[in-house]
Chains A and B, each alone.
Chain A
Amino acid sequence: MRHGRVFVRRLSGLFRKDQRDRELAEEIESNLQMHIDDNRRAGMSAEEARRQALIKLGGVEATKEAYRDQRGLPLFDTFLQDIRYGLRGLRRSPGFALTAVLTLALGIGATTAIFSAVYALLIRPLPYHDPDRLVWVAERPRSGGASGAIAEPDMIAWRERGRPFEAVAGYAFNEYTLSGAGDTVRIPGAMVSGNFLSLLGVAPQIGRDFAPADDRPGSAAVALLSDALWRERFSADPRVAGTTVNLDREAYTVAGVLPPRFRFPDMGNAPQVLAVLRTPGSSAFNVEEPLLMFQVVARLRPRDSLASVQRDLQAFQQTRLRDYPVPLARMAEGRKLEVNPLQRHLAGDSRKPLIVLLAAVGLVMLIACANIANLQLVRAVARRHEVAVRSALGAARTRIARQFLTESMVISAFAALLGLAIGALAIDAIREWQSPALPWLASVGLDPYVFGFTMGVAVVAAVLFGAAPAITGSRANVTDALKTTPLRMSGVRDHRLLRDTFVVGEVALALVLLIAAGLLVRSFRDLMRTDPGYDPHNVLTAKLQLPLPAGPPGESKEYKQILAFASEMLPRLQALPAVRYAALSSQLPLQPRHTATMVWFGPTLPPRETWLKLRVPLISVTPNLFRAMGTTIVAGQAFSEDDNESSPGVAIVNRAFARQFYPGDALGKRFHSMVSEHCAGCAAGQPAELQVVGIAADVHQQGLDHAAEPEVYLPFAQAPEVSFNIVLATNGNPGMLSAPLRSTVFALDRQAPVYDIATLEQRLSESLAQRRLTMFLLSAFAALALLLAAIGVYGVISYAVVQRTQEIGIRVAQGATRGSVLRLILWQQARMILLGSAAGLAVAIALSGVMSSLLYGVKPNDFTTFALSWIVLTSIALLASAAPALRATRTDPCVTLRYE
């Protein structure tokens, strides 16, 4: 405390120095006079009195000096002096100052922007209580692939066991039709276990949290509303708790409203309503009941490590395998349980690209530092004379070194300010990218942490690029340096090795970045060239939910209702202006899988262990769908209006299906499907026998970078669904049709919400948002690196040429041609560039594994990319060295030799 106050007073002592000096002089003078007066009174002569008083006082100047040191901060004083000196020096060489500040500012700006993103996604604590102890639990199947949900009995077993987790909660996403006052709408929601919110440490802003009692089967249905839904739909009514809402035509009691900043612990999903699960909640499997699968979050006990928890859980699951029913036990064999920090789970697929980008930006920063260090070295040589004079005048080596460092600090400070501005602009640009696929982008911002990080980077950079000149600069040999003239050119071979090393390093790093960017660009181009299996242009899509009970429509009454609605609606949609085809489909590309069946080909059910391989997604479509989507029927024919409940069961399979299950010709073959249908010869609750009437082109349903899987299309009339997609192929701008589409459906049934309206192009583009952003940023960094490396090469060779002016003059005087001089200079540079690019290629090959997961279609050591990047880099580096080299050849020997 006291130290702080003293420091503040001393700090303030740095200002208004003159006044304080005057005050001290006055005080000493007045005291001196009193002393003299006393001496006079003691009988001394005037002169003697003054002399004695001055002796007693001691050296006045020494006193003042001691006083000043006590008053201010002497170290800080010299620091200010250094800064002033540094500023003056920079003003003397504005070209250097500008290049250095700009170079560093670009590096700092880029680093700031990427770190902001990294901070927002990977570092900023999640908005939950003690978020470090929250984990995400998932099962990774033996076959590899995405980790998935947990079976309810397992979740209950972990909860009952009380180990290794303190608490376990589950949830599952759902959609609900919200009806009642106002329009009937379809909203995203989630079913959550009763302890879900308390596990996260979140309390509702109004009303109550779910209680364990709500969780039991048979208890009343309760729901929590999101803040947004509460404001929009319930006009922020504070008495909403306890009222009733209609979700999927079931009455739910509103327990409360979630806080405004509540974020659901899942990437990209923002449920508007949470309903409590009401499940039997047994740790034993019951084959009679449908098996519920949940996403699971858990809270670790304090001080438990992730690894030990994972081991414990895995071992426990192994003991549970005995209790599994037979088919499940086989599927569960070899499964691996994954326990990951919740934060990592929420970062999802964005984590890897971000880390690669952070590394890339770090390389850019390194190149920037190398550049400036190089410039500093060049300057240090140019300033040898000045340094020598100063040390001859008695400046200590440490003082000179400190001055070089301070100068770097001054550059860094300017660069940090400018870099912060560039970073802020870049952050805005990144946020502009906003995409539903990358919801976290909106939370990227310039917070104090990011600011602190930038400052840290600036300081480290200052030390990094200031260190070399500080060490070598202060070591200057006074006599040698003083003997040479200030304008020196020959004989100075100082720092040559260091400078060459910097250039080689820069070239190597720039090549690594160039190759990485090249690989991403090539991946993206390959991806864009991939035929998705449909034509996304001018197609509008929307989801529709009929006000009927969910699930497969077993009763014939509902089945008739669906078909009646569809046959009423489709002609009206078809009649809308500019609509070429109107069609329905239970599944659209880039949507999560909807329905699947099990298929088999003989008369009898195949053995159980093969079942998993026979799972095939089902898609119900109306006859026009293939035309509307632009999906080719490669063999046979599309469905017709005649394929209905009174005709035999038919199917169209995709090529992947035909390849996998019928190595010969699939057309006309028959197979069984586990899911029952409405057709002649079909019976409710019985597997259907279907004939393949057509083969469709493969569609990349799960994204361009996912291979097409076997699929079965069914006629909508034989396999209707209560919720489906409307597909409108148009002649013009499909966006114009969204309002007519809404009103057409609304006129038919006010209770059938149309939602999630988007063009196919939008959906496709969103699915590529992550890749596009990564590619764009990495390419920008590679371009920046290339530019910086070019500047570095240019600066070094310019300097080298100036250094060798005299030597060149002698060579020319002795008859060397311009060509030979040019070759001499270029060869020196080419050696460094070749060395640098060789190192770059080696590093790129060593790092290729890092990139592989971000690529599509190209290998991480793709020859073309490597070769092209190398050519681009080498040409630009040579180009950068050509200009000064050419200048060298134009030297007039008469002029250069006169320098001596």
Chain B
Amino acid sequence: MAEKKDVRQGTLSLMILKTLESMGSLHAYGIARRIEQISGDLLAVQYGTIYPALLKLEQEGHVASEWTSSENNRRAKYYRLTRAGRRQLEKELSEWQETTAVMARFLSLGKEHA
């Protein structure tokens, strides 16, 4: 099994936003689980780190939370994307893509010359 990578600083909130966009309303455990699954279990998410990150997003107004019953009748706190969160996601996505594009071009420079 390949060594699992820790989540890079700052990318966790982007992952959370993206997860909530595709899944709609979800609780913290579900979000963490989903991130692990999507990454093909390449990323190790300490489930504990998800709570401060969610709180930060909530303070910034990007997500909203609500206590409701889960699928098997357990009370849980559900998070969903707000409109500001959707805008933030778009912004961060495009920034991310730009960054990766630049990085990719930069990193491939050496190869062309080689």
Chain A interface (Cβ < 8 Å from any Cβ of B): 2, 5-6, 9-10, 24, 27-28, 30-35, 37-38, 56-60, 62-63, 66-67, 69-71
Contact = CB atoms under 8 A, between A and B. Distances in A.
B76 A24 contact: no
A31 B28 contact: yes
* Consensus secondary structure, chain A interface: helix
A28 B51 contact: yes
Contacts of A67: 51-52, 55
Contacts of B76: 27, 30-31, 34
Contacts of B27: 30-31, 34
Nearest to A9: B59
B47 interface: yes
Contact of A35 (B47, B52, B59, B72): B47
A57 B28 contact: no
Given A6-B59, A27-B28, A31-B29, A58 B74 contact: no
Given A2-B60, A31-B29, A33-B74, A59 B48 contact: yes
A37 B28 CA distance: 15
Centre residue among B27, B46, B72 by max chain A CB count within 10 A: B46
20 contacts: A2-B60, A9-B59, A10-B59, A27-B51, A28-B48, A30-B74, A30-B75, A30-B77, A31-B29, A58-B46, A58-B47, A58-B48, A63-B52, A66-B48, A66-B51, A67-B51, A67-B55, A70-B52, A70-B56, A71-B55
A67 B55 CA distance: 8
Centre residue among B46, B52, B72 by max chain A CB count within 10 A: B52
Given A2-B61, A6-B60, A34-B27, A27 B77 contact: yes
Interchain residue pairs A-B with the least CB separation, the first 9:
A63-B48, A58-B48, A31-B29, A58-B46, A70-B52, A9-B59, A57-B47, A66-B52, A27-B77
Nearest to B56: A70
B72 to A, nearest CB: 7
Contacts of A58: 46-49
Given A31-B28, A66-B51, 20 more contacts: A2-B60, A2-B61, A5-B60, A6-B60, A27-B28, A30-B75, A30-B76, A30-B77, A31-B29, A34-B30, A34-B76, A35-B29, A35-B47, A57-B47, A60-B48, A62-B48, A66-B48, A70-B56, A70-B59, A71-B55
B99 interface: no
A37 B49 CA distance: 21
Contacts of B30: 34
Interface string B51-68: 110011001110000000
B47 to A, nearest CB: 5
Centre residue among B27, B28, B30, B47 by max chain A CB count within 10 A: B47
B37 interface: no
Contacts of B56: 70
A34 B48 contact: no
A42 to B, nearest CB: 12
Given A5-B61, A33-B74, A34-B70, A57 B52 contact: no
B107 to A, nearest CB: 32
Nearest to B88: A2
A24 B29 contact: no
Nearest to A5: B61
Contacts of A59: 48
Nearest to A30: B76
A67 B77 CA distance: 15
* Consensus secondary structure, chain B interface: helix
A34 B73 CA distance: 11
Nearest to B27: A31
A67 to B, nearest CB: 5
Nearest to A12: B59
A662 B68 CA distance: 111
A63 B49 CA distance: 7
Nearest to B76: A30
Centre residue among A6, A31, A70 by max chain B CB count within 10 A: A31
Contacts of B48: 28, 57-60, 62-63, 66
A34 B47 CA distance: 12
A30 B67 CA distance: 11
Contacts of B59: 5-6, 9-10, 70
A484 B51 CA distance: 49
A66 B60 CA distance: 17
A465 B74 CA distance: 59
A2 B84 CA distance: 11
Interface in B58-108: 59-61, 70, 72, 74-77
A591 to B, nearest CB: 72
Contacts of A5: 59-61
B38 to A, nearest CB: 17
A27 B48 CA distance: 11
A57 B74 contact: no
A69 B49 CA distance: 13
Contacts of A69: 52
Contacts of B33: 38
A6 B61 CA distance: 8
A729 to B, nearest CB: 83
A37 B70 CA distance: 13
B74 A34 contact: yes
Interface in B8-26: none
Nearest to A35: B29
Given A5-B61, A37-B72, A31 B52 contact: no
Nearest to B30: A34
A38 B72 CA distance: 11
Given A2-B60, A70-B56, A63 B29 contact: no
Given A5-B61, A6-B59, A56-B47, A34 B29 contact: yes
Contact of A66 (B47, B49, B70, B72): B49
A33 to B, nearest CB: 6
A56 B59 CA distance: 26
